[in-house]
Amino acid sequence: MRMRKCLWTLLPAVLVAGAAVGAPRPVRRHASTLTDIVGRLRAGGADGRELVDAAMAEVCAAFPYDSVWHLWETPAKALAGGRGWSHQYNTILLRVLRLLGFEARLVHAARVRGWRRPWFFTSHTWVKVRLDGRWVDACASRPGNRVGDLGFLPVSDELPYRGSTRYTVPLALAPFVVAAVWRARLGGRDVPDWVYHARG
């Protein structure tokens, strides 16, 4: 009885570890760094709204793959690997904007809808940046994003991004990611796009 209880206790850890072990490796040999991104943006000569638009495009290009298969990685590690999700790539966008002299902060919604897809996405994090005395939305999710025109709409409350958000949201999402990875493996299929895909 004690052995069976021990096995049931270990099973979630084994499933998570097994899913993580199969996660794709970094996708580029020469990763962008914050210094690289900020240097290119400063050399471009843009300012204000145009500079924020350019920053979104630069950070988006630095993450050629969308991935919730790497939930546990820090934003810096995700940047080095060229793959991440909104918590990771928009934290990098936040840092880039601050290094460029903008006042910026992260926000989060449990549910957003958009990107020409009819269903609801669970969880998204993006940046609020102060331009001309107003807080406007910025996000590195798509290369064509423009300040205030991001292709998604929050359908739950917009909340401040707290220190605990970086841990609670991935913990809530992890069981769905692990289940999707194992379902794909056992069925001999690729993981679904929402888990890992190249940005188009």
Q: What is the pLDDT of residues 18-43, one digit of tens each?
A: 455 566 676 665 568 899 999 999 99
98-102, 118-122, 138-142, 188-192: least confidently modelled range: 118-122
Residue 13 identity: A
Distance CA 125, CA 12 (A): 27
Confidence of residue 166 (pLDDT cuts 50, 70, 90): confident
Residue type, 65: Y
pLDDT exceeds cutoff 80 at 70: yes
pTM equals 0.84
Question: Residue 176, Cβ neighbours under 10 Å: how many?
Answer: 13
CB 127 within 8 A of CB 97: yes
